[in-house]
């Protein structure tokens, strides 16, 4: 992403819909691009991670046979109530953990209160929908942040009541680093979990992240890492 968020074509591709569908939904206010709306010739809509989740929800409902107008009416009703649609719906659908991306722009601008309220809204929605049983993980996207901003992001996530801080989405400029994890663990102490995700491809990297303070790892190489660990322990037995 050269700009914050996702373009219309990127959002449509990720959600599994056509750009034409997305354009119609945006023009008719079914989906509301939360980063930037089209305001005239040459302007472009920009969609956030939360918008992508809402797009996935709409597509899932339509694929299940719900009529578009019924989906539209349901979304308008929930928005009028002020509910966090993406988080509440994911929990209702059975999710026990919710990942959200911190508002990077507001964090970089120093608007900690805006960031705190944004996270707290998700924490509250998830808590109500799951009766307190689901976890909220706040993704910092550390590849965009320096140390003071990582610390600030952790502090705000902690103040908002989130359960975990996480390094990366996989869409950012890089994955987790050992230094990221050390900074995050130092910032949150024992009060929250820390998840390292992105770029963890072998046993050495996994062990380094755990040693730095990670409680969890996000990796597509899990089978290979476990196999390497099994072999290393067998060899030392």
Residue positions annotated with a catalytic role: 99, 166, 195
- From CA 228, how far away is CA 206, in angstroms rounded? 11
- From CA 174, how far away is CA 167, in angstroms rounded? 10
Residue 72's H or E segment, with its range, is: helix 68-81
Of 214, 156, 216, 220, give the one whose Cα is nearest residue 186.
214
User: Given the structure tokens 């990221």, which residue do they identify?
Assistant: 180
For residue 56, give both structure tokens.
């996935």
- From CA 202, how far away is CA 200, in angstroms rounded? 6
Residue 234's H or E segment, with its range, is: helix 222-236
- From CA 192, how far away is CA 30, in angstroms rounded? 36
Task: State the Cα angle at 161 between 139 and 14, rounded to 5°.
Answer: 30
């Amino acid at each position: 992403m050269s700009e914050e968020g996702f373009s219309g074509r990127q959002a449509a591709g990720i959600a599994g819909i056509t750009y034409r569908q997305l354009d119609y939904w945006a023009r008719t206010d079914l989906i509301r691009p939360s980063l930037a709306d089209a305001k005239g010739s040459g302007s472009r809509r920009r969609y956030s991670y939360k918008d992508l989740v809402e797009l996935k929800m709409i597509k899932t409902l339509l694929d299940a046979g719900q009529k578009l107008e019924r989906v539209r009416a349901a979304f308008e009703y929930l928005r009028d109530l002020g509910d966090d649609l993406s988080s509440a719906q994911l929990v209702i659908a059975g999710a026990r953990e919710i990942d959200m991306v911190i508002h990077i722009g507001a964090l970089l601008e120093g608007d900690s209160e805006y960031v705190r309220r944004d996270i707290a809204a998700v924490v509250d929605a998830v808590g109500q929908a799951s009766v307190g049983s689901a976890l909220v993980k706040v993704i910092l996207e550390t590849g965009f942040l320096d140390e003071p901003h990582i610390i600030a992001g952790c502090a705000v996530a902690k103040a908002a009541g989130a359960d975990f801080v996480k390094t990366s989405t996989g869409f950012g400029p890089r994955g987790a680093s050992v230094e990221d994890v050390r900074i995050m663990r130092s910032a949150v102490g024992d009060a929250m979990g820390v998840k390292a995700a992105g770029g963890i491809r072998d046993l050495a990297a996994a062990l380094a992240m755990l040693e730095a303070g990670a409680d969890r790892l996000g990796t597509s190489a899990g089978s290979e890492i476990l196999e390497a660990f099994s072999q290393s322990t067998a060899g030392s037995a």
